[in-house]
Structure 1
Amino acid sequence: MDEWLNPARLGEYTSLAWQWVNEQVLVLPNLLQLLAVSAALVFAALLAPRIRRWLGRFSPGGWRQQFIAALATLLFPLTWLLMMGVAWQAAVMQGWPARILEIVASLLMAWVIIKIASRLIRNPVWAQAVAITAWTVAALNILRLLDPTVALLDSFAVQFGAVRISLLTVTKSVFALAMLLWLATTVSAILESRLKHSPNLTPSVQVLFGKLLKFTLIVLAVLAALSTTGIDLTALAVFGGALGVGIGLGLQKVIANLFSGVILLVDKSIKPGDVVAVAGTYGWVNTLGGRYVSVITRDGIEHLIPNEDFITTRVENWTHSHNNMRLKIPIGVHYNTDVERALEICVECAREVPRVLESPAPICQLRAFGDSAVELELRIWIGDAMQGINNVRSDVLRKIWKAFHDEGIEIPYPQRDLHLRSAEPLRVDLGDPTGTPRDTAS
């Protein structure tokens, strides 16, 4: 590496590069070829937008529309490649030098092929990275610079004992890690999709297997990428143990949430779709994550509750073993009311609400004699608590309100009777300023 930082060596390389430019570039045949490349580029830049607008007028639908959309993105390199092909053929027929034309045409051909292949990757970030990497390697190979570039990258190296790490090794490892991670995530996504459509697995087991598969594939991808650097993985055992202890002490809550999530998945106490109430939050479980459980309330607010809270605190799961849930609705009627008729009306109104189950049947009971009303309690069962409980309570009360008005049943409001005791006679004594007593009156 020191020879590349030597000023004398750098000056030598600079002079050699300038000499090569004078001998290979600044000559008439090559300048004419560069002029042809530039002319073809300008022509393609002017013609491609016109063709794209013309293709935009067609909307056949289906796969033809997708083909036209894909073709529109490749119009510029295809047009440029066509012009370069014409120029190269003309130069060959006339016996003129055509090495630069051949190189540019080969680069354009590689660009088009890689662009088409990268469209098979749905993730735009991965598609762009693969396209750039593949085109760079293809360009170096076409220019016959791949082997010198590999040798140059390998010359920048650092020695750690018996392990030699060069810039080439790091580059290979980065590319290998990127490709292996992409392959791991793609395979895990396919397997998770297959697991979700498996009728023999519960939602909790599906999530558990999906997370374990993804974690395992990612770990294998990282280990495989490290092995490409030539590092002995057994040497990382001691370091990994010490690092694990440090991470365990510093990330106790995170690790607790991870293991709590695994426990929730294994014992199936919480699963997607359950209606739960925890820490004052009521809603239905949307997803189970590695660190938290997503609970969406009726207000549309998504709460991310740590997994540990579902293990260490009291949790109400309204749909753990079944979906039925009983609601208690308090009702008050006047003391002059026919209580038996009021009980019948409450039950009849509850049965008219579609969401109220017929079995168990709704019942209404007399609970107490209150200060200002006879207190009744209507008990109903619903089987879809995830659709809300206050709305079905409102539907029942509205029907009861209308039925009570039709039957003349009065719903009282709190009253208080005030009793005043009669006052005792007040004795008044009027004294004389001179000290002579006067008569008194009462």
Structure 2
Amino acid sequence: MENTTEKGAKFGLDLLEAIRISAGTVQSFLVSLMQPGWRLYQVLIILGLAVLCFGLHKFSGHLLQNWVRSREGWKAWQLRMIVQIRRRLGLLWYALLGWSVWLVMQEVTWPSRSYLIGLAATLATAWAFIGFSARLVRNRFLRRAVTWGLWIYVTLFYLNISDEVSLFLDRIAISVGDFRLSMLTLIVAAVVIGTLFTLARLVSNTTAATIRKNEDISPSMQVLAVKAVQIGLYGFAFFAGIKAVGIDLTGLAVLTGAIGVGLGFGLQKVISNLVSGVIILLDKSIKPGDVISLGDTFGWIQTLGARYASVVTRDGKEYLIPNEDLITGQVVNWSHSNDFVRLDIYFGTSYDDDPHEVRRLAIEAAKSADRVLSHRPPVCHVVGFGDSSVDYILRFWIKDPTGGLTNIRGNVYLALWDIFKENNISIPFPQREVRMLGGTGKQNFGDDAPAPEPEEDAPAEKDDKAPDT
């Protein structure tokens, strides 16, 4: 307890001493500005350049926006670059004008009389460079953290106070036994991990593009290889960043194991989907581009993710199906081993039509439709004698289920309709005949009048199905 109190008192004294020294430095600098001299003149020049560059930022930004709007056919990355330039026009103008003034003053007066102007131009150039370079970090929060961290570090570095600030941040620490974690360590870890994550993303994107271009690797193995590379690179970046700043994770092994067990029980479904995704990629039962049916969902596998598969239907809807459902459920893969698909169409014709002629015409109609394979010729069979028609089944093959199934069935039905109409083949449909009982005149019945009783010798209603002739 006494040791902890002594550490707290020492930390408080160090903090007060750092604040006192910083306040004294700032005070002496402000006092020097109150006296006429080149230091005051340089500060006024810096402020004047800031006001001028603010106006130039507004004016040139408006001109750049109008110029871009007059252009057509620009790519997305070009437009994003223009947006980033427009946001940083003030810094770019300040860097340009600041270095120009500094060069002029280097020639016409002593170098010490333009030191602050050169420092301001250097900071503006560094801030602009950091702003553009930070766009490589995709994550918005991480990008902002890296940007502000680098801005602060560059500022402290060029002001020659980075060592003092580092020493101050290192004193702000938490110590538990042999474990010590300071504010400086956390900041360095965030910067190192962010940088390594950015490099890992660039390497993984390059590797993924190379893997996807290799036609010798199946689509499912391409997805698995890309996921493995990403997990490996990001995992290496994280642990390398932790080790680079000197954080020892061996003391947290027991705690990490306990947390892992708890997460395992709480995230059973998530882990099941992850394992199912790996199994799907390994056994190649489903791969991107396959046409599948799962329940009422019929569509194309667009992507295979770590947790779900994206299935796009013909009407543009995108279903996110968990990988576990693809493993445990009954899935119809229309293009698993090959792309050949047989479709069946049922129809009926009148008993007055010759079934041999009907079969011949049906096969001819199927052959005339697009996408129907000729080397696997259609066949037509009689499957029964119905109440009002002779029933047939027409079977044909296609090789492109990705082109849709409903549309090819519709085309074959239209071909059947046309060829039957040309050859006077009738397609029967049920007909209902209604006979009115009693007299043919109109009768009005009141609310209290009884309904007329049917005559004893009157025939009953009759439903009759007859072919359409």
Q: Tell me the TM-score normalized by structure 1.
A: 0.84
Moved more, 6-15 or 202-211: 6-15
Where does 1:199-214 land on structure 2 (aligned, <5 Å)?
Answer: 199-214=215-230
Q: Counterpart in 2 of 1:314?
A: 330
CA contact (8 A) 1:277 1:283 kept: yes
CA contact (8 A) 2:378 2:396 kept: yes
Residue by residue, what CA displacement relative to the aligned partner does 1:136-171 show, whole Å, maximum 9, x if unpaired? 322211111111111111010111211211000011
Superposition deviation, residue 229 in structure 1 = 4.2
C-alpha RMSD of matched pairs (Å): 3.4
- 1:364 aligns with one of 367, 377, 380: 380
AA aligned opposite 2:264: G
AA aligned opposite 1:28: P
Moved more, 13-22 or 368-377: 13-22
CA distance in 2, matches of 1:250, 1:61: 50
Distance 1:15 1:278, change over 3 A: closer
Does structure 1 residue 84 correspond to structure 2 residue 112? no
Does structure 1 residue 28 correspond to structure 2 residue 44? no
AA aligned opposite 1:33: Q
Where does 1:362-441 land on structure 2 (aligned, <5 Å)?
Answer: 362-415=378-431
AA aligned opposite 1:34: V
CA contact (8 A) 1:346 1:364 kept: yes
AA aligned opposite 1:79: W
AA aligned opposite 2:91: P
Superposition deviation, residue 127 in structure 1 = 6.2
Does structure 1 residue 233 correspond to structure 2 residue 249? yes
CA distance in 2, matches of 1:202, 1:282: 23
Superposition deviation, residue 366 in structure 1 = 0.7
Does structure 1 residue 152 correspond to structure 2 residue 152? no
CA distance in 2, matches of 1:396, 1:22: 90
Moved more, 231-240 or 285-294: 231-240
CA distance in 1, matches of 2:401, 2:161: 68
CA distance in 1, matches of 2:233, 2:413: 55
Does structure 1 residue 216 correspond to structure 2 residue 232? yes
AA aligned opposite 2:31: E
Report the secondary structure of 2:326's partner residue.
helix
Structure 2: gaps (5+ residues): 1-7, 435-455, 458-469
Distance 1:173 1:20, change over 3 A: same
Larger Rg: 1
Superposition deviation, residue 112 in structure 1 = 4.2
Q: Counterpart in 1 of 2:24?
A: 16
Distance 1:61 1:28, change over 3 A: farther
AA aligned opposite 1:40: L
Superposition deviation, residue 254 in structure 1 = 1.0
Moved more, 175-184 or 198-207: 175-184
Superposition deviation, residue 327 in structure 1 = 0.7
AA aligned opposite 1:38: L
CA contact (8 A) 2:146 2:194 kept: no
Superposition deviation, residue 18 in structure 1 = 5.9
Q: Counterpart in 1 of 2:314?
A: 298
CA distance in 2, matches of 1:8, 1:170: 22
Superposition deviation, residue 15 in structure 1 = 5.9
Distance 1:334 1:89, change over 3 A: closer
CA contact (8 A) 1:275 1:284 kept: yes
Q: Counterpart in 1 of 2:460?
A: none
Structure 1: gaps (5+ residues): 425-442
Does structure 1 residue 344 correspond to structure 2 residue 352? no
CA distance in 2, matches of 1:156, 1:122: 29
AA aligned opposite 1:300: G
CA distance in 1, matches of 2:132, 2:177: 45
AA aligned opposite 2:156: L
Distance 1:413 1:251, change over 3 A: same
AA aligned opposite 1:249: F
Superposition deviation, residue 131 in structure 1 = 4.5
Q: Counterpart in 2 of 1:431?
A: none
CA distance in 2, matches of 1:322, 1:376: 28
Residue by residue, what CA displacement relative to the aligned partner does 1:266-306 show, whole Å, maximum 9, x if unpaired? 00001111111113321111111111111111121111111
Distance 1:107 1:258, change over 3 A: same
CA contact (8 A) 2:287 2:301 kept: yes
Q: Counterpart in 2 of 1:264?
A: 280
CA contact (8 A) 2:382 2:390 kept: yes
- 1:192 aligns with one of 200, 205, 208: 208
Moved more, 327-336 or 35-44: 35-44
Distance 1:118 1:10, change over 3 A: closer
Moved more, 379-388 or 104-113: 104-113
CA contact (8 A) 1:275 1:282 kept: yes
Where does 1:27-176 land on structure 2 (aligned, <5 Å)?
Answer: 27-29=35-37, 30-50=39-59, 75-89=89-103, 91-92=105-106, 93-95=108-110, 97-115=113-131, 117-118=133-134, 121=136, 123=138, 125=140, 130-176=146-192
CA distance in 1, matches of 2:16, 2:319: 65
Q: Tell me the TM-score normalized by structure 2.
A: 0.80
Report the secondary structure of 2:410's partner residue.
helix
Report the secondary structure of 1:150's partner residue.
helix
